[in-house]
Structure 1
Amino acid sequence: MLGLALPLPGEARADSRCAIDDRGREVCLEQPAERIAALSPGATELLFAAGAGDRVVAVVAHSDYPPEAGEIPSVGNHARLDLEALLALDPDLVVGWITGNPVEQLERLERLGLPVFQLEPRDIAGVAGAIERLASLAGSERQGRRAALAFREGMAELAERHAEAEPVSVFYQVWDSPLMTVNDAHWIGEVVRLCGGVNAFGDLDRLAPRIAEEAVLAADPEVILAGGMGEANRDWLAHWSRYPELTAVAADNLFFVPPSLIQRPTPRLLEGAGLLCEALEVARGRR
């Protein structure tokens, strides 16, 4: 019933397949996955990109892309899974989120014999690699390779286009309470750099550090970029308008990027990166 490969020494099925997850563990299936549970919105997007969308039988809350994902049964949210509902759907592969899903619940699924492939892409290269590995487990390698190649080529084209761009100091707000940003090791920091931006908080140690509002005022970035509590909510940017002395405010360089396009490590990061690069070009034109 379960897809976990348990071959005898020296034995291997012709259609078995293995992939290394982002914990560094090898996950092997006896045959391509047919019933996949995606335990984060990002995992859902990556599976569809990998050509395995028609095999996804379970998702979690906020799995809103592609639209077809809305028709798939939800088994709770990423922070608290309904394991009874999940198990009733009889998945043969679970795609988990390393720092998003409860460790004890993922471990319980493994104890029950389910293969759990844990993902957490940390950079642009990791997105393409995740697509290819999921495609391998699902037996949709051709579509996965095409999607990964298109993503890599699109990012490379953006990087080439902005390679000689004049630097622009940037503050990216990833959350409002507590106030949070990203450092240069985060994929958003990588996108800022790709677009010719200089992350005002890029040298901080944590991937998504908490900062004080006073730190932003002291950094006085030329551009402020933010997502928000929704795909069209610009309230976070409106907050900074209270500080007309900020360079970004004085130049009207307050830009909104829909969070699902930039804060999920999925192929749509390419679209988000394009919007971010456009924002920095606008800022350069306002000097």
Structure 2
Amino acid sequence: MPRPALAAQRIVSLLPSATELVCALGLGDRLVGVTHECDGPPEVGDLPPVTRTLIPPAATSGEIDALVRERFEAAGDDRPALYTLDEDALAALDPDLIVTQALCDVCAVAEADVQAAACRLPGSPRVLNLEPTTLAGVFASIDAVGCAAGVDAGPVVRALDARVRAVTERVSGRARPRVVVLEWLDPPFSAGHWNPELVRLAGGAEVIGQEGAPSRTLDWAEVVRAAPDIVVVACCGFTPERALKDVGAFDGVAGWETVPAARDGRVVVVDGSGLFARPGPRLVEAVELLAHLFHPDVQPRPDGVAPPVWLPGLPVAA
């Protein structure tokens, strides 16, 4: 029989962002299982993973893109299986709450698979689906997890919101650089959903990505035509070190040397995995980091965030 509707005591997170969110609420001691990608905060390091990916760890960005497209084509109207759930491990953990998502088709176990697995578990755990596409949606997700766990998320949300407001006040009235955030380089992808909003809050103007809209594949010519003052490389799922292996994608792009960001050394590589791809509390750090990149004289780099890597500028085209 289903458990009574009590505050969750045994939580399994199927999203790195949800893991960080649960811990931000002070509920880390209730986490019993996480994903293979959950890498923070440090206290989750010893928790058992209940997922695995079908993407080879040594695959290049181009190979990953090709694999994803191939699986989407083969799946047809169904969601492609890029992540799998270890149902035996999940059952052994006996969760009463499973936190998942249905927002991104390539970022986590399919929600339908999670729901089906939950129905097969003896305790019939609740499945909480998070689908934020904006910063406000992320704050609402924090409230939803807090409600499911029986804790007041208000203080956490208010503290995060206050940090964002402090940034917007610092950059208010300043000239806004033209910005393009790229979440993939081979091929290039715009950064969608919350990322254009983060750029705006940080005092920039995203000139390709649309607030709340999904990311999309770009043609390099579109990036060149956009003439951004700053290009932020925030590759989805990649650390800065891994993303730096792909910056050769800029070589040979027709007209790249005419782009202000490329010419002036204003192409910067950041932690796409930890700060930009996960709709959780660290998006506030992303706002602070972007404001630091755009307006360093008024916004310091956030504590604990590694310095971004700026690529050297290019000669002016003859």
- TM-score with structure 2 length normalisation? 0.74
**1:139: Cα distance to partner?**
2.2
CA contact (8 A) 1:241 1:249 kept: no
CA contact (8 A) 2:190 2:218 kept: yes
Tell me, in whole angstroms, the C-alpha distance in 2 between the residues paired with 1:283 and 1:178.
Answer: 34
Q: Report the counterpart of residue 217 of structure 1 in structure 2.
A: 224
Q: 1:281 aligns with which of 284, 287, 295?
A: 295
Q: Report the counterpart of residue 189 of structure 1 in structure 2.
A: 196
CA contact (8 A) 1:237 1:255 kept: no
After the TM superposition, which residues 130-279 of structure 1 pair with which residues of structure 2 at under 5 Å, given as runs? 130-141=141-152, 144-183=153-192, 186-203=193-210, 206-228=213-235, 229-233=238-242, 234-237=244-247, 239-240=249-250, 243-259=256-272, 260-279=274-293
Q: Which residue identity does 2:225 align to in structure 1?
A: A
Q: Which residue identity does 2:216 align to in structure 1?
A: P
CA contact (8 A) 2:13 2:99 kept: yes
Q: Structure 1: any 5+ residue segments left out of the alignment? A: 6-28
Alpha carbons of structure 1 residues 104 and 126: separation in structure 2 relative to 1, 3 Å: closer
Size of the aligned set, in residue pairs, is 255
Deviates more, 1:80-89 or 1:124-133: 124-133
For residues 143-202 of structure 1, what are the alpha-carbon distances to aligned partners after superposition, in whole Å with 9 as ceiling and x for unaligned? x3221111111111111222212121111011123321124xx21110111122111213
SS state of the match for residue 244, structure 1?
helix
- TM-score with structure 1 length normalisation? 0.81
| Overall identity of the aligned pairs, in % | 29
Tell me, in whole angstroms, the C-alpha distance in 2 between the residues paired with 1:283 and 1:220.
Answer: 24
Computed over aligned residues only, the root mean square deviation of the Cα atoms, in angstroms, reads 2.3
Tell me, in whole angstroms, the C-alpha distance in 2 between the residues paired with 1:261 and 1:104.
Answer: 27
Q: Which residue identity does 2:40 align to in structure 1?
A: Y
Q: Structure 2: any 5+ residue segments left out of the alignment? A: 54-82, 299-318
Q: Which residue identity does 1:240 align to in structure 2?
A: F
**1:249: Cα distance to partner?**
1.2
SS state of the match for residue 174, structure 1?
strand
CA contact (8 A) 2:197 2:211 kept: no
CA contact (8 A) 2:179 2:232 kept: yes
Alpha carbons of structure 1 residues 59 and 263: separation in structure 2 relative to 1, 3 Å: same
Q: Report the counterpart of residue 107 of structure 1 in structure 2.
A: 115
Q: Which residue identity does 1:264 align to in structure 2?
A: R
